[in-house]
Structure 1
Amino acid sequence: MRVMNSFFVKSVLGTLSLFFTLSVSAASVQDDMSREAIAERIKPIGKHYVAGESSAAEESSGPRSGQQVYDKFCTACHTSGVMGAPKINNAADWEERLAQGMDTVLKHAVEGFNAMPPKGTCSDCSEEEIQAAIDYMTKDI
């Protein structure tokens, strides 16, 4: 009889625990099922571009300044002189390059030269933006 009582008590406690657990989890599921929560979970993480429509790149507010281009794309190499890159405003590094003429410097920057890839790392920069970055790097020479 004692075994039966023990089994009965354990069964009742187990059933109550199960109901409590299910009711708590059901409440949290209900919170996650609101329209706002669902919309937040399934919202797109990006946008797509369809050929023929204007893209975000085309809607920019105009050309970037030389400092903006330098700060975002050029600083990694031209601050420390990585792989022979001329350091910003360092006359000794730029002297030989500038002696070839600004057209040659711009051509090398746009097309790539030695270790420098074409347009540095700014594949969407215009020639004017590349020129502005060169002017920024050489302004105090």
Structure 2
Amino acid sequence: MRALLPIAALLLAACSSGEAPAAPLTAEQSAALVPKDPRLAQLYAGSCKGCHTVKAAQAPLTGDRTLWNPRWAQGEAALLAAAIQGKKGMPAGGQCFECTPDDLKALIRFMAGREP
């Protein structure tokens, strides 16, 4: 019974946050997502989408909060630093040569499922 308490607490926390619990997305569901802003949509299509909608790329799928939530917990500053510097297989700046730090922040929010 005690082993179920942490699970119950997590479920209650998810319910009380007003958000539905995260569910994994398929690559097809991820690929169908597009930023609302036309400029960001163009930047995303030209640099992020190629890896963040393909499971074999081992990048967290766009919109899949089950993959993004642990990263998001590190804070936006850490995610931005990783995007600017590159991380594992991701090149510096995600090879978005036109992206400003604000663009990268907005793209991270979109991919993490936190676009307003």
TM range (shorter): 0.5 to 0.7
Provide Cα deviations, 1:102-134, integer angstroms capped at 9, x if missing partner: 110111011101111001121231111111111
Q: 1:136 to 1:66 in 2, by over 3 A?
A: farther
Secondary structure at the residue paired with 2:93?
Answer: coil
User: 1 CA distance for matches of 2:97 and 2:50?
Assistant: 16
Could you tell me which runs of 5 or more consecutive residues in structure 2 were left unpaired when the two chains were aligned.
Answer: 1-37
Contact kept in structure 2, 1:89 and 1:139, CA below 8 Å: yes
Task: Provide the alpha-carbon RMSD of the alignment.
Answer: 1.9
Structure 1 outlier segments of 4+, above 3 Å: none
Q: Give the corresponding residue for 1:23.
A: none
Q: Aligned pair 1:77/2:51, yes or no?
A: yes
* TM-score (ref. length: structure 1): 0.50
Provide Cα deviations, 1:23-54, integer angstroms capped at 9, x if missing partner: xxxxxxxxxxxxxxxxxxxxxxxxxxxxxxxx
Q: Aligned pair 1:129/2:103, yes or no?
A: yes
**Structure 1 residue 140: Cα displacement:** 5.4
User: 2 CA distance for matches of 1:115 and 1:88?
Assistant: 16
Could you tell me which runs of 5 or more consecutive residues in structure 1 were left unpaired when the two chains were aligned.
Answer: 1-63
**Which aligned pairs between 1:24-63 and structure 2 lie closer than 5 A?**
none
User: 2 CA distance for matches of 1:97 and 1:139?
Assistant: 12
Q: Which has the larger radius of gyration?
A: 1
Give 1:138's match in structure 2, choosing from 107, 112, 116. 112
Q: Aligned pair 1:103/2:77, yes or no?
A: yes
Contact kept in structure 1, 2:72 and 2:112, CA below 8 Å: no
| Count of aligned pairs | 78
